[in-house]
């Protein structure tokens, strides 16, 4: 199963290429049914101009060992910061290892993602994202767009760091999926907390790499909002003209992504698509438009 779990910091509604549509979607994305049918509905077809080649070339992004941050190894941090700066000035992507997020927690997040996307369609639709909202289930965004639909299911929810005991994610899962999903909520509560901690380490490293006060971005984003998003990309028989997620930039400040072994994330740089190779022990970090526009451009 191709899926990924990602946390997006400080988000803003993104500008979409797809056509917005009215509130009464005719199309419901039943991936099990669609996989049995031969034809892909026209709503999922993307024009050749949108299509990416299945590139064989990998991005040569920096792989940063975060042990250096825990050890306060200033010399190693300076070298890493230089690589991060170069990446930020070119495409904004790098990967981090020894990130401090328990691999068992990442594995549990995938297991719970399987649980969510394997629920009966009626159950998933009972938790569907409300118009204009972020949280909830979405089947190909069929309630939002009428063409160039992404061949994916998503489940998203907010996370806001609180110093006091925090059960907001657990409460969300219980409220939309029922008490029987308390365990799922617990896993994602812990996952969001771990991502928040990591995001602040990233803000420190980014500040160093961009030559501003080391705590500047960290203090700015301390009370930032996040979106947690699970992406599931169902198998597709004739996927030559479909996309799991269309070409885009992230309108957020920071994205922390774990992609499974199938991979599929690609960047368009110097007029060609390059693959971000999945590394199970790593997390993919990318700065988004909000960070680029407000933190880098003014430099
Ligand atoms: C803030 C966000 C909106 C989207 C999810 C996050 C970051 C990227 C955005 C998105 C993935 C860009 C492509 C289109 C989109 C509709 C999608 O395919 O999911 C976007 C997300 C969204 O608006 O839900
Ligand atoms: O699923 C992925 O690998 C990335 C998806 C993505 O870019 C997004 O949801 O913003």
Beta bridge partners of 257: 6, 284
Going by alpha carbons, the residue nearest to atom 3 of ligand 1 is 14
Q: What atom of ligand 2 comes closest to residue 284's alpha carbon?
A: 3
Burial of 231 (0-12, 13-18, 19+ CB in 10 A): buried
**ipTM (interface predicted TM):** 0.95
Distance 199 CA to ligand 1 centre (A): 19
Give 236-270 pLDDT, tens digit per residue: 987 888 999 999 999 999 999 999 999 899 999 99
Q: What is the pTM of this model?
A: 0.92
Find the 286 Cα to ligand 2 centroid distance in Å: 11
| C-alpha of residue 231 to centroid of ligand 2, in Å | 7
**Please, which pLDDT band fits residue 16 given cuts at 50, 70 and 90?**
very low
All domains of the chain, ordered by start, with CATH?
2-10+45-296 (2.60.120.330)
pLDDT in tens, 182-205: 999 999 999 999 999 999 999 999
Residue nearest to atom 8 of ligand 2 (CA): 245
């Amino acid at each position: 199963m191709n899926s990924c779990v990602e946390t997006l910091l400080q988000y803003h509604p993104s500008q979409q290429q797809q056509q917005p549509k009215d509130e009464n979607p005719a199309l419901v994305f039943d991936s099990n049914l669609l996989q049995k049918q031969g034809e892909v509905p026209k709503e999922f077809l993307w024009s050749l101009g949108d299509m990416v080649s299945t590139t064989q070339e990998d991005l040569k992004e920096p792989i940063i060992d975060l042990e250096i941050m825990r050890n306060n190894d200033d010399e190693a941090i300076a070298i890493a910061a230089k690589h991060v700066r170069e990446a930020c000035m070119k495409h904004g992507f790098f990967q981090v290892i020894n990130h401090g997020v328990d691999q068992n927690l990442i594995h549990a997040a995938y297991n719970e993602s399987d649980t969510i996307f394997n629920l009966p369609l009626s159950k998933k639709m009972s938790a569907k994202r409300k118009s204009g909202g972020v949280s909830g289930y979405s089947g190909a965004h069929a309630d939002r767009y009428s063409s160039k639909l992404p061949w994916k299911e998503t489940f998203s929810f907010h996370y806001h760091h609180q110093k006091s005991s925090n059960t907001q994610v657990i409460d969300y899962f219980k409220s939309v999926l029922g008490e029987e999903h308390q365990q799922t909520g617990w896993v994602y509560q812990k996952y969001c907390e771990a991502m928040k901690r990591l995001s602040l380490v990233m803000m420190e490293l980014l500040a160093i790499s961009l030559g501003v006060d080391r705590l500047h971005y960290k203090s700015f984003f301390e009370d930032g909002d996040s979106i947690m998003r699970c992406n599931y990309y169902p198998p597709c028989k004739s996927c030559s003209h479909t996309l799991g997620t269309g070409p885009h930039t992230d309108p957020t400040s920071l994205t922390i992504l774990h992609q499974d072994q199938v991979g599929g994330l690609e960047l368009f740089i110097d007029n060609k698509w390059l693959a971000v190779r999945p590394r199970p022990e790593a997390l993919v970090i990318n700065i988004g438009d909000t960070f680029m526009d407000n933190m880098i451009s003014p430099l």
